């Protein structure tokens, strides 16, 4: 082997992100971390909203106008979905911490469930908001 240094390509590859078929559990784990980091930005939005409320009607209206833009609504949907996903998948993690749901078929099923449920919750929030079912604290 020592006299054939160019044959290294035939070595087995380490299962890294780019050379690996993504199992559901891997996707849920990566997305959990991504939404967690994203929610660090989400809490900035919440802080911005709270400071705007405390600063007076003009500042608050500026905040509302920015959030009402298409980009603002997209960011808000990302925030709501991330919060839904991180919460629902977080409960899945807590169940694992108690030793439940570790079997591979179960973990796969709950993984799909987390994606579906978080998507449904985020869409439900926006459908309720857009159909005037929100805003009950007026």
Partner 1 sequence: MSLETPLRKAQGLGSSHSGVNHFWRQRVSAVILIPLTLWFAVSALGLVGAHEASVLYFLSHPLNAVLLGTFILTALYHMALGLQEVILDYVPHEGAKLLLMILNHGFAFAVAAACVFALLRIAVGT
Choose which of 5, 12, 56, 105 interacts with partner 1 (CB under 8 A): 56
**Considering beta carbons, is residue 37 or 120 the nearer one to partner 1?**
37
* 51 vs 113: CA distance, rounded Å: 36
97 counts as binding partner 1 under rule CB under 8 A: yes
61 counts as binding partner 1 under rule CB under 8 A: yes
For the bound state, the minimum distance from the C-beta of residue 57 to partner 1, rounded and expressed in Å, comes to: 5
53 counts as binding partner 1 under rule CB under 8 A: yes
* 22 vs 57: CA distance, rounded Å: 48
Q: How many residues bind partner 1 (CB under 8 A)?
A: 35
The phi, psi pair for 101, rounded to 5°, reads 75, 25
46 counts as binding partner 1 under rule CB under 8 A: yes
Choose which of 28, 31, 81, 83 interacts with partner 1 (CB under 8 A): 83
Choose which of 60, 72, 77, 108 interacts with partner 1 (CB under 8 A): 60
């Amino acid at each position: 082997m020592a006299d054939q240094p160019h044959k290294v390509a035939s070595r087995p590859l380490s299962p890294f992100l780019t050379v690996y078929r993504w199992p559901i559990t891997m996707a849920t784990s990566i997305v959990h971390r991504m939404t967690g980091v994203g929610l660090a930005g989400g809490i900035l939005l919440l802080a911005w909203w709270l400071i705007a409320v405390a600063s007076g009607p003009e500042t608050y209206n500026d905040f509302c106008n920015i959030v009402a833009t298409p980009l603002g609504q997209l960011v808000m949907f990302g925030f709501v979905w991330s919060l839904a996903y991180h919460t629902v998948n977080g409960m899945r993690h807590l169940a694992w911490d108690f030793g439940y749901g570790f079997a591979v078929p179960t973990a796969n099923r709950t993984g799909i469930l987390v994606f579906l449920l978080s998507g449904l919750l985020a869409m439900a929030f926006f459908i309720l908001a857009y159909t005037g079912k929100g805003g009950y604290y007026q």
